[in-house]
Structure 1
Amino acid sequence: MININMDNKTLSFVTSDGVFSPKSIDKGTIAMISQVEFQSTDKVLDLGCGYGFVGIYASKIAGVEKVVMVDVQDEALELAQQNIEINNTTNVTLIKSDGFNNMFETGFTLILSNPPYHVDFSVPRNFIEKGFNRLTIGGKMYMVTKRKEWYKKKFISIFGGVKIWEIDGYYIFMGIKNSMKYASKKK
């Protein structure tokens, strides 16, 4: 069991060795969360939710009915469901989907992801390209990785720009969907 207190919110998580970062909340994920300015009006997508830390934390600010958590791994989804119950966030939406393949919701103001990035770029490429279309105008996508250049170029090519923070060896990327970029994509 992982117990964490962030911003006066105490949360608990069951994990297992079969999921990402089973012993503690990943430092990169914590770094990403530290840069997000959550609002009570946000509609949040935790893309690749794992055992659920990001989505459950976001639900404590935005409200459980405004959070969608997605993962493809059965074990991660089972743990996320347990953690949703442990943290009393039972109205969060949990969906089994390989990226956006089985997830059809739109209108997100925030998409947050710590994607698998040690093998190739196919997963983060899909997350960034498809995520752009799921954001509202002014919506933001945050992603954390240990690699910089490919992500920087990809965010710029899709969002027209990117803000990057480096924290403890991690890069946090933030792209904003603006109406000018959206209009040019429609042509």
Structure 2
Amino acid sequence: MNLLPDNLDEDKLQWLEGLRQDLLIETSLRGQPLRFHTTWGLFSPKQIDEGSRLLLDHIEIASDQDSADLGCGYGPLGLTLARLAPQGHHCLLDKDFVAVEYSRKNARLNRLDNVEVLLSNGFDQLDGRRFGRIVSNLPAKTGKEQYYLYFYEALARLEPGGRFYVVTINGLREFIKRSFKEVFGNYSKLKQGRSYTVSLACKD
């Protein structure tokens, strides 16, 4: 169904139709060649954002560990972990159905069959499974109530000894430090870059 106005000239129509086409990112993440289809309206559609790259550089994961990517977008974090841990099972979660569609598409594009992508608000569509690693590129404009829901849910979903890695804008680093100590009882700052900070909490 064409929902565009009837009075647009041909050049404008062609331009708008071009915006409907997928964007393609071909890149290397943690030494792994990966391809991603993206679209306007998803976070960082033209390139892998600096925060995600910084986070991936500081995640430790064994080849058989399971992971969850909270707020996966089109999948750069979760799909990279799926490539790094081929014997693990990797769950990508997002509350945006477009993000879920593109993560599924990108899992197929990269021939990753150890991946499950779910439309989920936080972890609410998961069963009782637990993970060795949970990762998230946390949104900058979410209320503290939502952050706390994510953090307590992540604590419940981690295996004993599991790790929760997040990247945030630097302006949130003190809040992350306080809330991780409150929720998990521990906090580590792994890296503070020019714009982003990578933080870690562990489940005892």
Deviation at 1:161, TM superposition (A): 1.1
The residue type paired with residue 101 of structure 2 is E
1:81 to 100, 104, 122: 104
1:32 aligned partner: 55
1:35-50 equivalences in 2 (<5 Å) = 35-50=58-73
Please point out which of 129, 134, 154 is paired with 2:179: 154
The more displaced of 120-129 and 148-157 is 120-129
What residue number does 2:199 align with?
Answer: 173
For the 8 Å contact 1:2–1:13, the answer to whether it is kept is yes
Q: Which amino acid aligns with 2:188?
A: K
CA distance in 2, matches of 1:168, 1:16: 27
**Structure of greater Rg:** 2
Q: 1:62 aligns with which of 82, 85, 104?
A: 85
Aligned match for 2:129, one of 106, 120, 126: 106
Structure 1 runs of 4+ aligned residues shifted over 3 Å read none
Which letter does structure 2 place at the counterpart of 1:47? L
Change (3 A) 1:65 1:176: closer
CA distance in 2: counterparts of 1:90 and 1:122, whole angstroms: 35
> What runs of 5+ residues in structure 2 fail to find an aligned partner?
1-23
1:12 to partner: Cα distance: 0.4
Q: Give the length in aligned residue pairs.
A: 178
Question: TM-score under structure 1 normalisation?
Answer: 0.90
- Write out per-residue CA displacement over residues 156-182 of structure 1, whole angstroms, 9 at most, x where no aligned residue: 01111100121232111100101xxxx
Q: Which is further off, 9-18 or 55-64?
A: 55-64
Map 1:11-22 onto structure 2 (within 5 A): 11-22=34-45
Normalising by structure 2, we get a TM-score of 0.83
